[in-house]
Chain A
Amino acid sequence: MQTIELQKVASQVRRDILRQVHGCQSGHPGGSLGCTDLLVELYFNSMNLKSDASGQVEFHMDGLNEDVFFLSNGHISPLLYSVLARRGYFPVAELATFRKLNTRLQGHPTPHEHLEGIRIASGSLGQGLSVAIGVAQAKKLNGEKSTVYCLMGDGEQNEGQVWEAAMYAPHHNVNNLIAFIDENGQQIDGPTEKVMNNLDLEAKYKAFGWQVLRVDGNDMASITAVIQQAKSLFVNNKPVMVIMKTEMGAGVDFMMHSHKWHGVAPNDEQLALALGQLEETLGDY
């Protein structure tokens, strides 16, 4: 898909995020808006997904012979749900049930309710990279050529398990994995540099044996390019970490440059104001 088309999808996904969070008056819009461009790029362009003859995607838990994505920072679930629905994994209308009783769209993603596209529960932070590495190793055992993707938050880098996984993947030459860190510089209690300073993530991951790239996570063409570049590095037999600079709340001017919108839903007025800045490209649910 061309960059311009991907940007149109991203605009609709951002509308979906805001409307989901508004609809139940809970959830996490800030990080969801910040990572929208990455997930749209992956699901609508770079990822090789299993589909039938008509192009309709099919969900298989084992993800055999297709690329798979794992969201480790599960609180940006409204983004994942919108992208999965818009890509055809489940009806777009189901987005209206987000976080409501009896929904498959739980506050944090889970396969427990059998929602197509979800392979692991996430929300308790720090676990997704380990799972992604396990799937990558299964693919290597199978002799598959597919790629495994994973997204983590920068606040999530506080978790010890992330560094257990960071140590493991290069040691075991996991060269079919591209992980991303959403470096928006914010976590719940404030800027990451004040709450728990990550210092130089690039130097840290390099020291652990990763190949590290950087990208502007809110520039669609750059994301496409960095994924291609990352794949070209698999030949070195090491995993790739992409440190992705994003703006929390990207796409809505009054939600940017602050961590205020990490876990706060817009009211009616704020929603209208935000939607006014985002073109309805694919039709609201």
Chain B
Amino acid sequence: MKLSRWIPLVPFAIIILLMEFLVRSKMIPNYLLPSPTEILKAFTEDSADLWKAAGETGLSALLGYLGSATLGLLLGIIFSSTRWIENAFYPYAIFFQTVPIIAIAPLLVIWFGYGMPTIIICTLIVSIFPIIASTLDGIRSTDHALIDLFKIYHARPLQKLFKLSLPFALPQIFVGLRISAGLAVIGAIVGEFIAGGGLGGIIDVARVRQRVDQVFAAVLLASAIGLIFVAGINLIASFALRHWHPSKKYAK
């Protein structure tokens, strides 16, 4: 493996050492910033709680994400099929992008109660718009010559969708899926702030008890879940799009 791949670890190590130094030398009080060793301690002391919470958050985020991927793809396809449907409903899809989720989360609790359903819906609301938008734009940007080709051979609308438009939109759809993967975890954490449980719940409780070490431990786990999501979708994308980009196997 190349040395350059490990370069990001250098600033990481510097920050860790600096944090440890600043807290130990009491330049920054440890109720504001925990030292890395304290965070590590929080990890080991509360490991059972933290991992359980991470599992809950991961599951909520995953279910919400699968929901938004399915629904977003479907809505993108429907919007792309007819101009008037897009004109009529797309503005409402933008609503999902602009709605301050933290403000409507209490409303969701009133409607769906405390716990997972509310958190999943939160995740879905936060992560659906990029998928709708990228699907719609991807399908709309289908090669016009190929649309003509399908017309010449009298392709039916569904043939055009599955053999041309959708595969053609795939690179763009994956852009949306990647953005949404990160958003899904954010949505789940925000949902948990209000509806309880998971890493969001732990952060909320630790905040009240002024346990910055626990907050940091939970935040690190939450971003780790986000990274796993994004890495997963990248893996799927690079497999699905493996024929898109030039490779030099046969070309002379």
- Report if A and B associate in a common complex: no
**A binding-site residues for B, Cβ under 8 Å:** none
